[in-house]
Structure 1
Amino acid sequence: MTSDLQDRIHASLALAGMGDALGAPTEQWSIDEIAAKYGGLVLAFDDPPADTFAGANLGRRAEVTDDASQMYYLARAMVAAGGDLDGRQWVDCLLDWVEHSPKAGFMGPSTAGIVKALREGGDTAAVGVIGSSRRKMTTVGTTNGAAMRVAPAGLLHPGRIDAACRAALVTCFPSHDTDVAIAAACSVAAATAQALATRDLDTVLAAALAGAETGARMARDSARAVAGPSYPARLRMALRIAAEERDDYAFLRRMESEVGNSVLAAESVPAALGVVAYAQGDPLRTIALAASIGNDTDSIATMAGAIVGALRGTAALPPGMLAEFKQANAAEFDLDALAAGLAALAR
């Protein structure tokens, strides 16, 4: 018999991927463009058009993009490492993904620069430096790549926020070595970890805030401090908007205008948690709202889906969509095996 823990890990991996696939056809679109095409929220898988990254990368209906693909490779590497992945093993995992995943053609900007340096034997510390100085551009390492793939760090540590954040920290280097990216990644890992250990949404959101503060504290000892918005402050703003709004489009528009929905970690990660809060942990509404929020829709839906899947379990997922998703991605990923491996280590 499948344990509740394994079932919820499976649901986390599945809903994250379903969100990624649902948001792939709308990535970089505006809220109005999405609403006009779909007549409201995005509620079913569609073929990504050519003006999205997934469409340009020959993605098809219900397939994951680089977002969930990296997450699944990370889960596989964590299982292979016995749950104790170190920095070298993480870099090997990242390069394995680049070498073998068909989804690696359109990786995010922070990851892309680091991967290029790693493959060419270059100095990763020199990626994004300004002129002859050692200062880096503020856009380097501040994107959401670490947060979008980090859920397995939380799935390995049910209810253990500090342990989830320590595991998340390893996966932030060398590509996302900034205070904002680390705080965001730890926030998602902590929320996912707590979601496995409770059925209470407020407890999960409190864990997201605690993880953000833990990540910010860890970053002070090991990462670059960058100019720009505070991730914990943006997260509190996103949760406040979620609590105040009652109309879907009023919520989406405020989230876009006040928090942001771009690839930056200080925007898309709090937006994802705001969606989790506003949707009250309903799996389909969570990924539908995230896929309809505009801009970095697939990443936002991946992160939100991972948390809500862990909270609700597979019985709460829309069965038709789940079956379609698993069939579309079966050639590359065995989610049952990944969930079993993570659950065995999590126990």
Structure 2
Amino acid sequence: MKRNSPLFDKVLGCLLGGFIGDAMGTPTENLSHDDIQQRFGWVQTFSGDGTDDSLLKHILCETLERTGGHATADAWAADWIRHSQTFVNSKLFFAPVVATFWKLSGEQVLPRDAGAGNMASSSSAMCISPMGIVNAGNPRQAVLETFEVAGLIHHNFCRDGACAMAAAVAQAFVPSTNVESVLRAASEFLPERSAEAMRVALQSTLAMARESAGYEDFRARYYSAAIDVRQHFTDSRETVPLALALVWLAGGDAQKAVEYGANFGRDADTIASMAGAVAGAMGGASALPQAWLDTLGSQADKQRALADRMTRLVHARAEAARAAALIVLETSV
């Protein structure tokens, strides 16, 4: 695959947007926007390699590579066990991820059952963009496959949040796509009844964004809208709708979406990472600021190499789907 192809550019944009968003939002996580303003002013630079968002995402990419782009809960769980020392030694992982790891390694719980009972969080949604990448242009399929994979961490509405994010990323790869079609795809293929909690959260947050006069007005409205009654600040009913609302407010511009997320506060690293992945896939890596790419240093080459491998997976899956369709068409004549 050519590294200068539009598909490669979108894959790399998705990976870089998510990675940079994670790193840029790390210092502002769990702060209010007032705290951010007082401590940092407007955050638009970053350092470091991000958090558990990026760690889990990269492990999921490994799983997709190993399975030819067809990850399952079992396959992803096997790679968690292979990376046992990462989970044991790192203090980055949040409660649901830690719970799943010990269920898998210590209690021998089946991977498909591991997410049952875990607390609500963004742990499944924050790292799920690779499922959108390998299902580029097919948000419906992205939802179906993500529901299986995300079950390793969650069996509740958080799983639906992961499906929404994967669908948004998949739609972002459509060449003629726009922000509205990406937002529509995020909820279009979620079950009407079973995913009601996530659907309602998406609808209400996006409505607030549309009614706002811009980013700062939306942020102020959101913070004043009884935010204290929400569950934990990592609850995916907050982070997933917020990430998509920021993509809308940014007009699909990845730089704006990432900076909006990093300066929003709350679960800033995850919000900025998810917003960056979606907007990055829309505009591609070529639309990202050169200063950001320079800041990445050697990590830029690692992300390009990963993007190359992920692009090959997208192409291989598309070719296999086309071959299967031709067989059906030929035998139906």
Q: TM-score, normalised by structure 2?
A: 0.84
| Aligned position for 1:10 | 12
Q: Tell whether the 8 Å contact from 2:178 to 2:252 is kept in structure 1 after alignment.
A: no
State the secondary structure of the residue aligned to 1:82: coil
| Aligned position for 1:96 | 82
**Which whole-Å deviations, capped at 9, do the CAs of 1:100-126 have from their partners, x for residues lacking one?**
479942212111111122221354799
**Which whole-Å deviations, capped at 9, do the CAs of 1:225-270 have from their partners, x for residues lacking one?**
9xxx811111111211221212432211223444768111111111
Displacement of 1:271 after TM fit?
A: 0.8
Q: Provide the rounded CA distance (Å) in 2 between the counterparts of 1:98 and 1:25.
A: 27
Q: TM-score, normalised by structure 1?
A: 0.81
What are the within-5 Å matches in structure 2 for residues 262-277 of structure 1? 262-277=233-248
Q: Tell whether the 8 Å contact from 2:87 to 2:101 is kept in structure 1 after alignment.
A: no
The alignment of Structure 1 onto Structure 2 pairs a total of residues equal to 307
1:253/1:344 CA distance change after superposition, 3 Å: same
Does 2:281 align with 1:310? yes
Q: Provide the rounded CA distance (Å) in 2 between the counterparts of 1:169 and 1:104.
A: 27
Q: Where in structure 1 are there 5+ consecutive unaligned residues?
A: 46-60, 130-135
One-letter amino acid of the counterpart of residue 167, structure 2:
A
1:208/1:172 CA distance change after superposition, 3 Å: same
Q: Provide the rounded CA distance (Å) in 1 between the counterparts of 2:245 and 2:58.
A: 24
**Which residue among 163, 174, 182 is the counterpart of 2:141?**
163
RMSD, aligned α-carbons: 2.5
Identical columns (%): 28
**Which whole-Å deviations, capped at 9, do the CAs of 1:78-132 have from their partners, x for residues lacking one?**
0121011122211012233442479942212111111122221354799899xxx
| Aligned position for 1:342 | 310
State the secondary structure of the residue aligned to 1:148: coil
1:127/1:315 CA distance change after superposition, 3 Å: closer
1:186/1:115 CA distance change after superposition, 3 Å: same
Q: Tell whether the 8 Å contact from 1:291 to 1:297 is kept in structure 2 after alignment.
A: yes
Does 2:294 align with 1:323? yes
**Which whole-Å deviations, capped at 9, do the CAs of 1:40-70 have from their partners, x for residues lacking one?**
x31112xxxxxxxxxxxxxxx2321111221
Q: Provide the rounded CA distance (Å) in 2 between the counterparts of 1:12 and 1:292.
A: 20
Q: Tell whether the 8 Å contact from 1:62 to 1:324 is kept in structure 2 after alignment.
A: no
Q: Provide the rounded CA distance (Å) in 2 between the counterparts of 1:31 and 1:195.
A: 29
Q: Where in structure 2 are there 5+ consecutive unaligned residues?
A: 316-333
Does 2:235 align with 1:234? no
What are the within-5 Å matches in structure 2 for residues 196-215 of structure 1? 196-197=173-174, 198-211=176-189, 213-214=190-191
| Aligned position for 1:44 | 45
1:70/1:274 CA distance change after superposition, 3 Å: same
One-letter amino acid of the counterpart of residue 230, structure 1:
A
